Amino acid sequence: MPPDYPGTLILFEGCEGAGKSTLLKSIAEILQEGTCGVIQTKEPRGYAREVLLNPHHPLTPEEELTIFIDGREEHFREIVIPALQNGDVVLCDRSTYSTIAYQHYGRGLDLTDILVRDAKARQNVDFDFIILLDIDPEIGLKRKKPETRFELETIDFHRRVRHGYLEQARIDSTGKWKIIDASKSEYDVLMDALAAIFKLLYRRR
């Protein structure tokens, strides 16, 4: 049974170059004008982020997964859970579904192992809503110069990641996923995301 907190946890997911960071920043600015507390956060963080993204730091897929999961445990314990207990809206850039898309669909690691370790790291705290910015990796990867371990992966890897995200959204039965076509203009993407978020926040009042 997932714990119940007064806050709301909204997750933003998507392939490289989908525009998550820009969208999240705009949404945070808009929500901050309201009365609720808004926290903007992301995974991976800190030193773990440096190690994970550095293409010159060799890591096996298993080591990579362990660093993501350990970082998530700390992230939820130190930032996400306290903010939810405080009644804040938490806007999170990547988490669980990135691990499933990149480490399971992309790298081929065992799904059950990921699911068990991920749920433990989150202390079973569930996301209230997931916005998936869907983009063809061919388009997304052209939006920035590839530099990180993941951006430098093959196009086939990125296609598997995209497929992984779409599969997760497709098999979901909770109605928590909103897929937005991220090839649309920044404004249109923002409007779609805001409409969905306001609907969610209104329902949860």
Q: Which residues bind ligand TMP (CB under 6 A)?
A: 16, 42-44, 68, 93-95, 98-99, 102-103, 148, 150
Residue 102's φ and ψ, nearest 5 degrees, are: -85, -45
d(CA 52, CA 58): 9
Angle value at C-alpha 162, between 72 and 15, nearest 5 degrees: 60
Tell me the C-alpha distance between 99 and 115, whole Å.
9
The CB-of-95 to ligand TMP minimum distance in angstroms stands at 6
User: 51 vs 201, which CB is nearer to ligand TMP?
Assistant: 51
- Write down the least CB distance from residue 134 to ligand TMP, Å: 15
Angstrom distance (rounded) from CA 87 to CA 83? 6
Output 172 or 199, the one with its CB closest to ligand TMP: 172
Residue 142 has what DSSP assignment? Answer: G
Which of 183, 178, 182 shows the shortest CA–CA distance to 196? 178
Question: Rounded to the nearest whole angstrom, what is the least distance from the CB of residue 6 to ligand TMP in the complex?
Answer: 25
- Specify whether the CB–CB gap between 25 and 144 falls below 8 A: no
Judged by beta carbon, residue 44 or residue 137, the one nearer ligand TMP is 44
The minimum distance between CB 87 and ligand TMP, in angstroms, equals: 25
Q: Which is nearer to ligand TMP, 103 or 168 (CB)?
A: 103
Distance between CA 40 and CA 108 in Å, rounded? Answer: 30
**Nearest to ligand TMP of 36, 52 (CB atom):** 52
CB of 53 to ligand TMP, least distance (A): 6
